[in-house]
C-alpha cells in the first residue's frame, strides 16, 4: 500500500482537503471503544497530524463525498489518528447505517479541529524556542516532551535557578516580539552534515528541520506556526526537579492567555478575602496564618486548663481512668494521659472525638500494665486501628462513647 501523503508537513495551515479511501476496516474487540461503530480508515492523503513525538493527534471531521459529488454522509467525528508501521490510520466514530459509505475508492472530505490544532502549533513552537534557548545558553538537551489538551511539559537534562527561569521566559517572549519566521526544510545528507541541530538521534530517513533563525534548529515532524509572533505569549507555569534535570510545565498562546486570566481572577479573590491590594496578598495571607497560629496556641492553653480542672474531680484511688473529650489537640491529649498515669496505677486513656462523628482518636497509657491489652480488646470488639508500646498506645476507633466504654477495663 502506498503511504498517505502528509499535507500537514508542508502546510500546517491547511485545515481541510479531499482524499480517497484506500482501506476501511470496522474496529472490533479492544479497538471498539464507543457504542455504535468505529471505522479505521487509511487515506491517500490527510491533513490530520497523527500522535507522535510527544504531541497528541489532531481530531476533526470527515464526510463521504459520494461518487456523484453529493455528500452522502453527515459530518462524522475523527476521534483518533495514529501512525502504525508507517501507515496513518484515522478512527472515525460512525453510526451503524453509515459504515458502508467509506469503501475503498470513496471520495471523502476531511477537516481538522483548527482551534485545537493552532493551539498545538503555538505550544509546540513555544517549546522549540524554550528548548533552543536553553540549549544555546546552558547546553541542555530536551529529553522529553508532552503536548496534549491539558498540559505541555518539557524535560531537560539540567537545572536552572529561579532567576535563570525568569530570564529564560523573558528571552522566549522577546523571540515572539521579534516575529521571526519558522522555516521547514529537508536538507540532503551532505548539507545536513554541516548543520548543527537538536534531536539528532531520533530521526530515521529524511530529516525535517524546523528552524527559527538565531534561536533554534531542531529535527521535528510536527506542525508549527509560520511566524513566532503568532505564539502571542510563552509562560513557564511550574518547574520540578526531574530525573536529575528539570521538568518545565509551560503554556503558550491562547492557553497561556486563558491561564493568566484565570490566575488574575484567583488573585483578585484572595485580594478581596484578605482585604489587601493584589500586590500585597502575600502579606495578607501571612497575617492570617500568624493569627491562626496564635489562636491555636490560645485554644490549646484553654484546653489544658479545662482538662486539668477535670482531673481534680477524679477520685485519687480510682485505678483505671478513661476520659471522653471533644476535639482535642494531640499534644494536649498526650500530656493529659501522662498526667493521669502519674496519679493512677491502672490504665489511663483519653478519647477525643464525638458520638455525632461516631469516631474517637485515643491515647492510652499505663505505668504498670501493658496498654496493648486494651488496644487488643478495642481491635477485636470494635475494629480499632492503632498500636504502640506497653507504656503507651494510640489509635482511632469507630463507635459511640457507650459502645467503647463497654469494651474498656
Ligand atoms: Zn518538535
Gap between the Cα atoms of 334 and 330, Å rounded: 6
Are residues 124 and 55 both part of a single domain? no
Beta bridge partners of residue 112, listed in sequence order: 60
- Residue 292 belongs to some domain of the structure: no
Are residues 229 and 355 both part of a single domain? no
Are residues 134 and 206 both part of a single domain? yes
- CATH code of the domain in which 73 resides: 2.40.30.130
Ligand 1 centroid distance, CA of 76 (Å): 30
Distance of CA 212 to the CA centre of its chain: 30
For position 70, what pLDDT does the model report? 57
Do 215 and 237 meet the contact criterion of CB atoms below 8 Å apart? Answer: no
Contacts 24+ apart (CB under 8 A), 7-13: 7/45, 7/46, 7/47, 8/46, 8/47, 8/48, 8/49, 8/58, 8/223, 9/184, 9/208, 9/221, 10/184, 12/117, 12/121, 12/223, 12/224, 12/225, 12/226, 13/226
Looking at 96, 112, 128, which one is the last position of a domain?
112
Q: Which residues contact 366 (CB under 8 A, 6 or more apart)?
A: 341, 346, 347, 348, 390, 391, 392
Whether 383 shows a pLDDT value over 70: the answer reads yes
Ligand 1 centroid distance, CA of 285 (Å): 41
Ligand 1 centroid distance, CA of 220 (Å): 4
Query: Which residue is listed with cell 496519679?
Result: 343
Ligand 1 centroid distance, CA of 125 (Å): 7
Ligand 1 centroid distance, CA of 199 (Å): 9
Whether 215 shows a pLDDT value over 90: the answer reads yes
Gap between the Cα atoms of 97 and 95, Å rounded: 6
For position 203, what pLDDT does the model report? 55
Ligand 1 centroid distance, CA of 75 (Å): 31
Are residues 127 and 180 both part of a single domain? yes
For position 204, what pLDDT does the model report? 64
Ligand 1 centroid distance, CA of 23 (Å): 30
Looking at 197, 230, 259, which one is the last position of a domain?
259
Q: Could you tell me which residue, 56 or 206, shows the higher pLDDT?
A: 56
Residue 248's SS3 state is: strand
For position 308, what pLDDT does the model report? 82
For position 68, what pLDDT does the model report? 57
Gap between the Cα atoms of 129 and 217, Å rounded: 10
DSSP state, 97? G
Query: Average pLDDT in the 92-101 region?
Result: 76
Ligand 1 centroid distance, CA of 372 (Å): 62
Whether 2 shows a pLDDT value over 70: the answer reads no
- Residue 306 belongs to some domain of the structure: no
Residue range of the domain that includes 350: 312-407
Q: Tell me the pTM.
A: 0.77
Residue 369's SS3 state is: coil
| Cα end-to-end distance, the chain, whole Å | 82
DSSP state, 198? B
- CATH code of the domain in which 341 resides: 3.10.310.40
Ligand 1 centroid distance, CA of 224 (Å): 8
Alpha helices in 363-400 (DSSP H): 372-382
Whether 278 shows a pLDDT value over 90: the answer reads yes
Q: Which of 363, 365, 319 is nearest to 344 (CA)?
A: 319
Confidence of residue 259 (pLDDT cuts 50, 70, 90): very high
Are residues 101 and 167 both part of a single domain? no
- CATH code of the domain in which 230 resides: 3.30.980.10
Ligand 1 centroid distance, CA of 106 (Å): 34
- Residue 20 belongs to some domain of the structure: yes
Ligand 1 centroid distance, CA of 129 (Å): 10
Ligand 1 centroid distance, CA of 189 (Å): 20
Ligand 1 centroid distance, CA of 347 (Å): 68
- Residue 280 belongs to some domain of the structure: no
Are residues 108 and 223 both part of a single domain? no
Query: Average pLDDT in the 254-269 region?
Result: 96
Number of CB atoms found within 10 A of residue 408's CB: 16
- Residue 302 belongs to some domain of the structure: no
Sheet holding 321-325, edge to edge: 321-325, 347-354, 359-366, 392-398, 385-389
Ligand 1 centroid distance, CA of 208 (Å): 10
Ligand 1 centroid distance, CA of 218 (Å): 7
Beta bridge partners of residue 240, listed in sequence order: 247
Ligand 1 centroid distance, CA of 131 (Å): 10
Greatest Cα-to-Cα distance within the chain, rounded to the nearest angstrom: 103
* Tens of pLDDT, residues 295-312: 988 988 888 888 888 888
Looking at 112, 139, 159, which one is the last position of a domain?
112
Average pLDDT in the chain: 91
Ligand 1 centroid distance, CA of 202 (Å): 11
* Tens of pLDDT, residues 336-362: 999 999 999 999 999 999 999 999 999
Whether 287 shows a pLDDT value over 70: the answer reads yes
- Quote the number of domains for the chain: 3
Element (H, E) at 332: helix 330-343
Gap between the Cα atoms of 209 and 50, Å rounded: 18
DSSP state, 50? P
Do 42 and 100 meet the contact criterion of CB atoms below 8 Å apart? Answer: no
For position 324, what pLDDT does the model report? 92
Element (H, E) at 87: strand 87-94
Q: Could you tell me which residue, 88 or 66, shows the higher pLDDT?
A: 88
Confidence of residue 250 (pLDDT cuts 50, 70, 90): very high
Amino acid at each position: 500500500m502506498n503511504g498517505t501523503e502528509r499535507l500537514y508537513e508542508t502546510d500546517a495551515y491547511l485545515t481541510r482537503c479531499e482524499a480517497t479511501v484506500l482501506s476501511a476496516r470496522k474496529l472490533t474487540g479492544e479497538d471498539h471503544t464507543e457504542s455504535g461503530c468505529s471505522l479505521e480508515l487509511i487515506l491517500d492523503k490527510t491533513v490530520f497530524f497523527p500522535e507522535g513525538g510527544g504531541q497528541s493527534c489532531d481530531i476533526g471531521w470527515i464526510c463521504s463525498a459520494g461518487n456523484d459529488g453529493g455528500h452522502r454522509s453527515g459530518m462524522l467525528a475523527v476521534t483518533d489518528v495514529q501512525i502504525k508501521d508507517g501507515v496513518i490510520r484515522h478512527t472515525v466514530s460512525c453510526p451503524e447505517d453509515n459504515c458502508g459509505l467509506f469503501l475503498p475508492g470513496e471520495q471523502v472530505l476531511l477537516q481538522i479541529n483548527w482551534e485545537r490544532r493552532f493551539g498545538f502549533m503555538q505550544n509546540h513552537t513555544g517549546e522549540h524556542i524554550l528548548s533552543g534557548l536553553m540549549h544555546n545558553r546552558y547546553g541542555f538537551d530536551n529529553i522529553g516532551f508532552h503536548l496534549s489538551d491539558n498540559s505541555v511539559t518539557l524535560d531537560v537534562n539540567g537545572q536552572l535557578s529561579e532567576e535563570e527561569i525568569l530570564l529564560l521566559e523573558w528571552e522566549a517572549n522577546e523571540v515572539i516580539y521579534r516575529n521571526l519566521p519558522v522555516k521547514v526544510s529537508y536538507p540532503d545528507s551532505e548539507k545536513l552534515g554541516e548543520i548543527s541541530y537538536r534531536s539528532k538521534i531520533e530521526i530515521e530517513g529524511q530529516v525535517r528541520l524546523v528552524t527559527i533563525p538565531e534561536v533554534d534548529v531542531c529535527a521535528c515532524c510536527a506542525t508549527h506556526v509560520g511566524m513566532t509572533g503568532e505564539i502571542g505569549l510563552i509562560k513557564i507555569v511550574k518547574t520540578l526537579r526531574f530525573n536529575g534535570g528539570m521538568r518545565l510545565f509551560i503554556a503558550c498562546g491562547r492557553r497561556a492567555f486563558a491561564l493568566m486570566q484565570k490566575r488574575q481572577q484567583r488573585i483578585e479573590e484572595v485580594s478581596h478575602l484578605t482585604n489587601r491590594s493584589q500586590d500585597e496578598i502575600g502579606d495578607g495571607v501571612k497575617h492570617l496564618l500568624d493569627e491562626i497560629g496564635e489562636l491555636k496556641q490560645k485554644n490549646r492553653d484553654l484546653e489544658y486548663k479545662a482538662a486539668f480542672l477535670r482531673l481534680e474531680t477524679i477520685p485519687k484511688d480510682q485505678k483505671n481512668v478513661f476520659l471522653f473529650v471533644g476535639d482535642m489537640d494531640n499534644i494536649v491529649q498526650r500530656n493529659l494521659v501522662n498526667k493521669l498515669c502519674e496519679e493512677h496505677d491502672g490504665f489511663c486513656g483519653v478519647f477525643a472525638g464525638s458520638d455525632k462523628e461516631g469516631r474517637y482518636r485515643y491515647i492510652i497509657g499505663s505505668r504498670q500494665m501493658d496498654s496493648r491489652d486494651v488496644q487488643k480488646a478495642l481491635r477485636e470488639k470494635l475494629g480499632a486501628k492503632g498500636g504502640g508500646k506497653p507504656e503507651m498506645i494510640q489509635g482511632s476507633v469507630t463507635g459511640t462513647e457507650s459502645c467503647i466504654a463497654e469494651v474498656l477495663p
